[in-house]
Amino acid sequence: MTYFQNNDDLLAIRESVAKLCEDFPGEYWRELDRERGYPTAFVNALTEAGFLGCLIPEAYGGSGLGIREASVILETVHRAGGNGAACHAQMYIMGAMLRHGSEEQKKTYLPEIATGRLRLQAFGVTEPTSGTDTSRTRTTAVRDGDDYIVNGQKVWTSRAEHSDLMLLLARTQPRDAGKKPHDGLSIFLIDMREAVGNGHRNLFR
């Protein structure tokens, strides 16, 4: 593919990522696949090189790059025979915080995510009775003073066992209360380290 061939910045990113991937050949990925393992060493290397925090603004400790650069990173990982699942997850999940999070949340979490001290790679969406229709989400979040009480069940939450934080989709008003079925859906940032055993049961831990 030569789409970005004439862009020096993107070419430099592609070459740097490809060079990094040389340390993680096919044998590395095949062994992980056999063990159903998580690419911890690969994720750490991407983080240290600044690629996993590419979409995080520099003001919060990231690289401050854009979607095109992120797509080049992911494409190069796959082109080299790797698996970018952990990479793309953190990129798109973290994007929700960038767009909708408070300034306090951004200052608290984004620098930690950029350095790899925290992982935000889990998105709790799918439910046993809702399938792929998120408008039928049954998990509820009810305001209780300064807190929300969340009740519901999520399944098939990828990378939940390897994440510290999770974005959780829940209803803050009934499905028929708004003009559209998706009205009343809200996203919550959950610290799973604190929630496990305190109303949250993670079968992986």
Between CA 16 and CA 118 the distance in angstroms is 24
Q: Which residue has the higher pLDDT, 105 or 1?
A: 105
Output the average pLDDT for the chain.
88
Dihedral-angle region of residue 193 (phi above 0 means left; psi in -120 to 50 means alpha; beta otherwise):
alpha
Domain ranges of the chain: 8-118, 121-195
Between CA 41 and CA 28 the distance in angstroms is 10
pTM recorded for the entire structure: 0.83
Return all residues near 143 (Cβ < 8 A) that are at least 6 apart. 172
Is pLDDT above 50 for 101?
yes
Return all residues near 72 (Cβ < 8 A) that are at least 6 apart. 4, 10, 13, 14, 17
Residue range 30-40, pLDDT digits in tens: 999 999 899 99
Amino acid at 106: K
Please tell me the CATH code under which domain 121-195 is placed: 2.40.110.10
Tell me what the mean pLDDT of segment 15-43 comes to: 95
Indicate the angle between helix axes 40-48 and 85-100, nearest 10 degrees.
50
Is pLDDT above 90 for 172?
yes
User: What pLDDT shows up at residue 56?
Assistant: 94
Residue range 123-170, pLDDT digits in tens: 999 999 887 788 999 999 999 999 999 999 998 888 888 899 999 999
- Tell me: domain 8-118, CATH 1.10.540.10, correct? yes
Q: Which residue has the higher pLDDT, 92 or 164?
A: 164
User: Which pLDDT band holds residue 27 (cuts at 50, 70, 90)?
Assistant: very high
Q: Give the count of alpha carbons within 13 A of 18, CB side only.
A: 11
Indicate the angle between helix axes 85-100 and 67-79, nearest 10 degrees.
170
Is pLDDT above 60 for 77?
yes
